[in-house]
A and B are shown apart, each in its own frame.
Chain A
Amino acid sequence: DQQVKQNSPSLSVQEGRISILNCDYTNSMFDYFLWYKKYPAEGPTFLISISSIKDKNEDGRFTVFLNKSAKHLSLHIVPSQPGDSAVYFCAASYNFNKFYFGSGTKLNVKP
């Protein structure tokens, strides 16, 4: 029973355009959400996070939006760069306990 879902296994975007990666969750107890970026044969690296008391968090080109009523979060990358090409995982936790990860979305930014 997957509590965090990323329904798009892949996404292709032109350089300079916006990339939107989506994530849905089922557990209303989740109060912290994170996005990780992963290159092949490497471990994931932390990208950005958001607490459930917020609906938006921005860090440079990366913005995460949280819609608690829809149990949905999204990661926006603007403008997208070829170096952003990687697999992006969303993760969720409650009370900073175990983290639950989605299956990942592979982003390809075309030059």
Chain B
Amino acid sequence: DGGITQSPKYLFRKEGQNVTLSCEQNLNHDAMYWYRQDPGQGLRLIYYSQIVNDFQKGDIAEGYSVSREKKESFPLTVTSAQKNPTAFYLCASSIVQNSNEQFFGPGTRLTVL
């Protein structure tokens, strides 16, 4: 079945450690996105990528980094520079950036202790 997978579902890390969240899609979508969701807030865009080896900062990119070495993969690294990393992280993809629909993965809940 085609879809987007994010792993793991729950992730715990100590403060000061970098952590990488996985996002894989087999939908052959060009564009991929990372969002963060906090209680009482909407999804906020962290980074997005329209094509392999290219990506752009979203609205809250500070403290995060990404790579897009393969079309199907868009990992997100939460660095120690991110002041408040505990959140629910969602990955999405779309056919091209100019798409009217994004398909979302199940999300990863990151808790920094």
- Residue ranges of A at the interface with B (Cβ–Cβ < 8 Å): 2, 4, 6, 9, 32, 34, 36, 41-46, 49, 89, 91, 95-104
Contacts and interface: CB of A to CB of B under 8 A. Distances in A.
B100 A32 contact: yes
A101 B40 contact: no
A100 B42 contact: yes
Nearest to A102: B42
Contacts, number: 58
Nearest to B44: A101
B43 interface: yes
Given A2-B42, A89-B42, A103-B40, A34 B100 contact: yes
A4 B103 contact: no
What class of interface size applies to chain B in its complex with A? 20 to 34
Nearest to A87: B37
Interface stretch (B12-20, B65-73, B77-85, B90-98): B90-98
A98 B104 contact: no
Given A43-B92, A98-B58, A104 B42 contact: yes
Given A49-B101, A97-B97, A41 B42 contact: no
B53 interface: no
A46 B97 contact: no
B111 interface: no
A88 to B, nearest CB: 11
A81 B107 CA distance: 26
Closest 7 CB pairs of A and B: A43-B104, A101-B42, A96-B98, A101-B43, A103-B42, A46-B101, A102-B42
